[in-house]
Amino acid sequence: MTNQWSKEPDKAIVQYLGKYIWFDREETIKNNPYKVIAYAMRYAVIEDYPVLFSLGKEILKDVLYQAQAGWFDKKNWVFWHTILKIENIPNPPKRGCL
């Protein structure tokens, strides 16, 4: 599988944050680290925020820029855009109709 991510996050941190993925865990950790990070950004307890920030603001921003529908809810979408000082917050990605 080709790496589709702009920046490669630290694998040990992604593995640790994998506790926030409860489905297809190993496959997602291996092939979709940005999804793992997004779920951690959405569900993490405050004690794990330093772990998230250790990835670097550029990776966290990239996760937002490449987010897919369902990765964030509206509240977390706005929160992370605000924390990372991203202006002009777009609407979160939405699932399309079949």
The residue among 48, 42, 15, 13 whose CA lies nearest residue 29 is: 15
| Among 2, 3, 10, residue whose Cα is nearest residue 59 | 10
Domain locations in the chain? 11-83
Each residue's pLDDT tens digit, 11-42 = 999 999 999 988 887 888 888 999 999 999 99
Report the predicted TM-score, pTM, of the whole model to 2 decimal places.
Answer: 0.88
Q: What is the pLDDT of residues 48-71, one digit of tens each?
A: 999 999 999 999 999 999 999 999
